[in-house]
Amino acid sequence: MVYSMAHQLAPALRVRPSRPPVRRKPLHSHRKKPAATILLVEHHPLFLKIIKAILEEANFRVLSAKSPRDAKKIDVEFTGSIDLLLSEVMMAPGLLGTKLAKALKKRRPHMRILLMSAYPGGELLILNYGWHFIKQPFMAEALVGRVKDVLHSKIREQGVDHFDTRK
């Protein structure tokens, strides 16, 4: 009886030849040269990873740093052009994105600045610099759109910051 059941199931259990696996091209093989190089500074590791992935998917080269110290090191070591600094406004006490931006602008005066913050009033910290701002949280499309706007906009240069109390 066992033999007859196994014999009846045998056709259903036979291994059928499978098709050869479909080879897919790597995701980035169709990509052109990166649209711009962005120095991303975010102290929260998960947000750093997510924002980096969003920007890379939008065809930007992303140099990521988890602190202003790391960002300054990248700035010195990276020999190419950095088109945009995207940084958190407030990372920790004494670690402000505005201070970082001021330091990096001395070496790279043509670099655009886009600061982000989830804190209420975060944009008030950058008003007198003439830099750009995006409120967190944001959708991926909003971030990419804002980055493109900043890269293509005419930006006024930083004026005299006599109102800056955080020098």
d(CA 121, CA 83): 26
Average pLDDT over residues 25-36: 66
Beta bridge partners of 141: none
Contacting residues for 154 by C-beta, under 8 A, at least 6 apart: none
Burial 19-36 (b: 16+ CB within 10 A, else e): eeeeeeeeeeeeeeeebb
pLDDT at 28 over 80: no
Average pLDDT over residues 26-44: 79
* Residue pLDDT, tens place only, 123-134: 776 777 778 999
pLDDT at 73 over 70: yes
Beta bridge partners of 88: 116
Block residue for tokens 């070496």: 107
Burial class (CB in 10 A: 0-12, 13-18, 19+), 84: buried
- For residue 161, what pLDDT band results from cuts at 50, 70 and 90? very low
Average pLDDT over residues 28-34: 65
